Structure 1
Amino acid sequence: MPGTGWTLTLLAPVRPVLEPARPAARLGALLLGGAGLAGMALALRRRGRLRRDLARDAARRQELEEQVSLRTAELRTANARLRAEAVERQRAEATLHGLRDELAQANRRPSSARSPPAWRMRSTSRWPPSAPSPTTR
């Protein structure tokens, strides 16, 4: 109404206008819900795969730790054996050097002062027991 400052608003029923849009809205909601469910299913599947991968990695890591422990124990045993062999070798070398020194000293003595070699000495016992006596050949 011009000049009065009033506005006339006519309200009409909206049901006839919204009724055709209702199936489209339902379909949209259904599609959006389906997409949401598919996203959740994908996320749950990824989470399950991640858990399986983590469990498999933990099992591999544990297996590797056990292998490392076994190998470390083997290496420690081998190292101890090698150390014992080295000590034995050093003893043998010391004995060898001592015998060489004795032999060198014996060779420096005059021949009259030398005692006969041990293999020429007659003995009633045989050593080694299975070997024939040098004098009975």
Structure 2
Amino acid sequence: MPLITVSYSTSRQSPSLKADIASAVSELTATILHKDPKVTAIVVTSVGADDWFAGGKSLAEQKLASYWIDIHVSEGTNTKDEKATYLAAMFTRMAEILGPLHPETYLHVDEVKGDAYGFGGLTQERRYIAGKLDVSLKAA
């Protein structure tokens, strides 16, 4: 049930660019981090290349693209190797979509405690406990 925000900048334009980005992010999040796409929310925002600066120059000047991805997941649900694989795979996929990327392109996996994070009015901790109770009741 991650909430993912994607800010990106590129000179490439297409009517489906935001949808392509959301689809790629959803797919990699599901396959590498094992997050259910049915409860994954993704916000995609475009930033003009003249408004994005890296290394003291705008991306427009450098003729490069970039992104900032911030994903919130429940603490302890992914390994270090999964997160490293996710970061590398996302960089490769986003370069395919956006074009050559500035090295100062970022992805942050923000692990939050289950009692401080949730959706639909329930914390992830309560969902976990409810799931354990359901299994216990079914086993009885």
Which TM-score band (shorter chain)?
under 0.3
Structure with greater helix share of residues: 1
Kindly name which structure, 1 or 2, has the bigger radius of gyration based on alpha carbons: 1
Tell me: higher relative CO, structure 1 or 2? Use CA pairs within 8 A at least 6 residues apart. 2
Q: TM-score, normalised by structure 2?
A: 0.16
Q: TM-score, normalised by structure 1?
A: 0.16
